[in-house]
């Protein structure tokens, strides 16, 4: 699903960009190499999902990343760990659903990425749809391992129908 991929890329790209920006700004010396670099960033994002439901859904988020970039003794990148909190809305047909997501991404020097937590949690009084658990992504972005319910990521027709119905 394009919207799910966009959500995943949104969190992943922002965390990587923040880490890369910090790494580029901070010159590393041998004395500094072992010390992690801490970063925090907050930004807003909005896009329209035209693929999940038979009608457009507007998604608006405020995303906050807090993380650390780790290096070996020679100053080589080892991993980036970013905790992400997303608060936003999914709106269509005059209906707005609240979304609150919380997950931790770990990006490794080998280009693998691990994600744990609650990357999609949409509510309307109760849970409308929830992706939660553990994901391991290959360097090409494909999913290597998946644990826990991930109905949006896996394209579960019943879960997607319930989500669209909640916005109808």
Q: What is the mean pLDDT of residues 92-98?
A: 97
Q: What is the mean pLDDT of residues 143-148?
A: 95
Q: Which pLDDT score, from 0 to 100, does residue 35 have?
A: 86
Domain that holds residue 13: 2-166
Domain count, the chain: 1
Look over the chain and give the mean of its residue pLDDT values, rounded to a whole number.
Answer: 85
Q: Strands 113-123 and 95-108: what pairing?
A: antiparallel
Polymer length of the chain:
168
User: Would the pLDDT of 83 be above 90?
Assistant: yes
| 6-15, 111-120, 154-163: least confidently modelled range | 6-15
To the nearest whole percent, how much of the chain has pLDDT over 70?
A: 80
Q: What is the pLDDT of residues 13-72, one digit of tens each?
A: 555 555 555 555 455 444 455 689 999 999 999 999 999 999 999 999 999 999 999 998
Strand partners, 129: 122
Q: Which pLDDT score, from 0 to 100, does residue 16 have?
A: 54
Q: Which pLDDT score, from 0 to 100, does residue 1 have?
A: 45
Q: Which pLDDT score, from 0 to 100, does residue 75 have?
A: 85
Chain centre to alpha carbon of residue 48: 17
| 71-75, 105-109, 127-131: least confidently modelled range | 71-75
Q: What is the mean pLDDT of residues 134-145?
A: 94
Map tokens 């457009």 to a residue: 56
């Amino acid at each position: 699903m394009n919207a799910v991929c966009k959500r995943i890329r949104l969190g992943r790209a922002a965390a990587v960009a923040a880490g890369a920006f910090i790494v580029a700004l901070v010159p590393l010396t041998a004395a500094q190499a072992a010390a992690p670099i801490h970063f925090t960033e907050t930004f807003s994002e909005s896009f329209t999902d035209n693929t999940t439901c038979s009608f457009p859904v507007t998604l608006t988020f405020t995303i906050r990343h807090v993380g650390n970039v780790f290096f070996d003794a020679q100053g080589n990148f080892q991993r980036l760990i970013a905790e992400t909190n997303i608060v936003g809305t999914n709106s269509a047909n005059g209906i707005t659903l609240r979304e609150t997501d919380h997950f931790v991404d770990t990006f490794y020097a080998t280009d693998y990425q691990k994600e744990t937590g609650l990357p999609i949690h949409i509510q309307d009084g109760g849970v409308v749809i929830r992706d939660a658990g553990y994901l391991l992504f290959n360097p090409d972005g494909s999913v290597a391992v998946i644990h826990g319910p991930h109905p949006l990521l896996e394209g579960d027709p019943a879960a997607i129908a319930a989500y669209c119905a909640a916005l109808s």
